[in-house]
Amino acid sequence: MDSQWRKNAVIGSGSTSAAVRFTKLTGELAGNSDHMAKAEHAIVFLSRWIRKNPEAATSDRLAAENVIRDLQNSLEGKP
For the stretch 8-31, pLDDT in tens is 677 878 899 999 999 999 999 988
Q: For the chain, give every domain's residue range.
A: 2-75
The predicted structure's pLDDT at residue 7: 65
Contact 23, 40 (CB under 8 A): no
Q: Which run of H or E residues covers position 2?
A: none
pLDDT at 6 over 80: no
H helices of the chain, in order, are 16-26, 35-52, 58-75
CA distance 73 to 76: 5
State the average pLDDT over residues 30-47.
93
What's the rounded mean pLDDT across residues 4-8? Answer: 61
Grade residue 3 by pLDDT with cuts at 50, 70 and 90. Answer: low
Distance, CA of 50 to CA of 35 (rounded, Å): 22
Please provide the average confidence, as pLDDT, over all residues in the chain: 90
